[in-house]
Amino acid sequence: MRTIAIFARWPRVGHTKTRLTPGLTADLAHLLHVAMLRDALDAALGAPAGRRTLWWAGAPAERVGFLVPEPIEVFDQPAGDLGDRLAHTFAALHRTPGDRVMIIGSDCPWLEAAAIDYAFEALERSEAVVGPADDGGFHLIGLTYAAVRLLPALFQGIPWSTERTLEETLIRIRAAGLSVDLLPAASDVDTPADVIKCVRWAMCDPAGGKHTRAALVAMGLLPGSAM
């Protein structure tokens, strides 16, 4: 079965997308974060999959203020670094040898349903698939059951959130004897410079990211005609 897992931080002003400030105010960074998250949820709902899940980081006990559409199941990310959380999620969602699990982030509005579908197709010929990010990390990672059996060692000791993250992850995957497919690179939106890239993308590509586009228009960064 195909399963999609979205990793996201609970939306709260001043606690999400803090690297966008002071280029953006905390309120505008929050607005953009929520918009990108909604686009990630739409992409997951549009991609062919048997199960869709959202994994919160930093969510309060009473989750009021953000409605997760059905049939997306909601969970909490465990404690630990990104490697610990990836390993836990992959292990929790893989149940049979035929399972394919894809984990995506919530800050890459150009990741559309078709790209997720393509990534799942890549898992039919390889044991891992990775979508590189321009900052040296990745915006998507998928594993088959064969790869999950090597967890948690597969993700231990990787320098997360650095320009070496992707390189070291691929080294681990290949050193374990696993085959891996690389998708086209994309940009996460983490910094003010990334917002500029996002505006350029929205101006040039008429498809996808409707919530992000609306947020950019509301922020005065994109003309309404670009919607």
Instruction: Give the whole-angstrom CA distance, residue 147 versus residue 87.
Output: 11
Give me the pLDDT at residue 226, please.
65
Tokens 């893989």 correspond to 94
Contact by Cβ (8 Å): 143, 127: yes
- What b/e readout covers 138-160, taking b as 16+ CB neighbours within 10 angstroms? bbbbbbbbebbebbeebbeebeb
| Bridge partners, 173 (sequence order) | none
102 touches 89 (CB < 8 A): no
DSSP string, 46-57: HS--SEEEEEEE
Residue 208 confidence (pLDDT)? 84
Q: What is the mean pLDDT of each run of 10 residues along the chain (227 residues)?
A: 98 95 95 98 98 97 92 96 97 95 96 97 97 96 95 94 97 96 94 94 88 96 80
pLDDT computed for residue 17 by the predictor = 95
Number of H helices, E strands in the chain: 7, 7
So what's the pLDDT on residue 169? 97
Q: What is the number of residues in the chain?
A: 227
Other CB atoms closer than 10 Å to residue 70's CB: what's the count? 8
- Please report, for the chain, the start and end positions of each structural domain, with discontinuous segments joined by +: 2-186
CB 8 within 8 A of CB 188: no
Three-state SS for 6?
strand
pLDDT score for 193: 93
Q: Which two tokens stand for residue 38?
A: 């909604």
pTM for this structure?
0.96
Chain centroid to CA 63: how far?
21
Task: Say whether domain 2-186 belongs to CATH 3.90.550.10.
Answer: yes
